[in-house]
Amino acid sequence: MSATGEQYVVDEHGNRVAVILPLQEYEQLQEDLHDLAVVAERREEPTVGFSEFRKRYEQ
């Protein structure tokens, strides 16, 4: 097992074909993937400057 905890499944030729990793690490990767998908989905939305954000927040 490596330092990060993943293990590999290999085929009959010794090629890595799958990985086994701790559930907590898998769940974190899933969450990160979801966050990246949301960012990609919203990348064309207009931005709001800090002063405008602060004005809206204080209302």
Segment 29-54, tens digit of pLDDT:
999 999 999 999 999 999 999 999 99
The share of the chain scoring above pLDDT 70, in percent, equals: 93
Largest CA distance in the chain: 65
The pair phi, psi for residue 34, each rounded to 5°, is -60, -45
Q: What is the pLDDT of residue 5?
A: 72
Q: Give 14-28 pLDDT, tens digit per residue.
A: 999 999 999 999 999
On whether the CB atoms of residues 40 and 54 are closer than 8 A, the answer is no
Report pTM: 0.61
